[in-house]
């Protein structure tokens, strides 16, 4: 495969890529722990989780569609150059995998504590979501890959469409959570640590995908948008916490 010649080995790039990939999963651990320890999903918006999962899935499938040929190159090049080519795809897989676990934990407590009618609605919503947003993309990808592993126009169109769709979803992903946090004036079971780590990590991933690899800007852009919006939620949470502390301090002083 002639295009394999453009893949270059970079120890620094591989090291940074592996570190970011592992750090992505670790950043979710405080959130998993907070939900399980509190046995509560208060303050967490389910729509944000579904949109985020879809955005990450599209981003992963987008880069996988555009980079399938890199996996084929591993038969012709050394392991170092192979790793440099496929780590970006593995890196895009990790956020989707992590938020999928997040959704499973969320649903475990949601279905356990809420009434039957609400459970039925949520289950139907999940089925509709999977049928509309997940299955068609899997079918489209499998159809393209089954024809040829080489880059072609159809793969380029699908890959860029998925990356653009992911970026659009990232633009709206955090707004339901922002609305929920604004209404409840509290972060609830949302983890400051997870949001903070992910915000910083998202910005780092954007820089890595844009400046350290040969991936297109559309691959990393969704991470930049997501990181900035998470900073907004953190700022809201800190502001409301400061307000509560000021209120309690006034109550303790007997000024109210």
The pLDDT tens digits along the chain (256 residues) read 556 665 665 556 677 778 878 888 899 999 999 999 998 898 999 899 999 999 989 989 988 888 887 777 777 767 777 777 778 788 888 989 999 999 999 988 887 766 555 667 677 778 888 888 889 999 998 888 877 777 788 888 898 889 888 888 887 889 999 999 999 988 989 999 999 998 888 888 788 767 766 556 666 677 788 888 899 999 999 999 888 888 777 666 555 4
**Residue 122 structural domain:** 2-253
Give me the helices (H) in the chain, please.
11-38, 46-73, 79-113, 116-129, 135-147, 153-173, 175-184, 192-207, 217-253
* Cβ contact 163:58 at 8 Å: yes
pLDDT of 256: 47
| Overall number of domains in the chain | 1
Tokens of 223: 């991470």
pLDDT of 44: 92
CA distance 91 to 95: 8
39: left (phi over 0), alpha (psi -120 to 50) or beta: left
pLDDT of 35: 93
């Amino acid at each position: 495969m002639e295009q394999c010649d453009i893949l270059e080995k970079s120890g620094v790039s591989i090291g940074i890529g592996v570190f970011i990939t592992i750090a992505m999963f670790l950043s979710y651990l405080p959130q998993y722990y907070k939900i399980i320890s509190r046995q509560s999903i208060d303050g967490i918006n389910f729509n944000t989780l579904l949109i985020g999962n879809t955005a990450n899935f599209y981003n992963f499938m987008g880069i996988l569609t555009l980079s399938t040929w890199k996996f084929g190159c591993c038969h012709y090049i050394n392991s170092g150059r192979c790793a440099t080519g496929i780590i970006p795809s593995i890196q895009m897989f990790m956020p989707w995998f992590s938020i999928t676990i997040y959704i499973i934990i969320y649903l475990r407590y949601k279905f356990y504590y809420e009434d039957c009618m609400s459970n039925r609605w949520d289950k139907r919503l999940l089925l509709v979501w999977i049928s509309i947003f997940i299955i068609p993309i899997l079918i489209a990808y499998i159809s393209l890959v089954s024809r040829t592993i080489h880059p072609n126009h159809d793969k380029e169109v699908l890959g860029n469409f998925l990356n653009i769709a992911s970026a659009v979803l990232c633009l709206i992903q955090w707004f339901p959570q922002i609305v929920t946090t604004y209404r409840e004036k509290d972060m609830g079971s949302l983890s400051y640590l997870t949001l903070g780590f992910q915000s910083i990590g998202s910005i780092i991933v954007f820089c890595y995908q844009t400046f350290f690899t040969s991936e297109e800007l559309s691959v990393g852009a969704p991470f930049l948008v997501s990181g900035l919006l998470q900073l907004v939620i953190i700022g809201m949470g800190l502001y409301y916490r400061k307000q509560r502390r000021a209120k309690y301090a006034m109550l303790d002083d007997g000024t109210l």
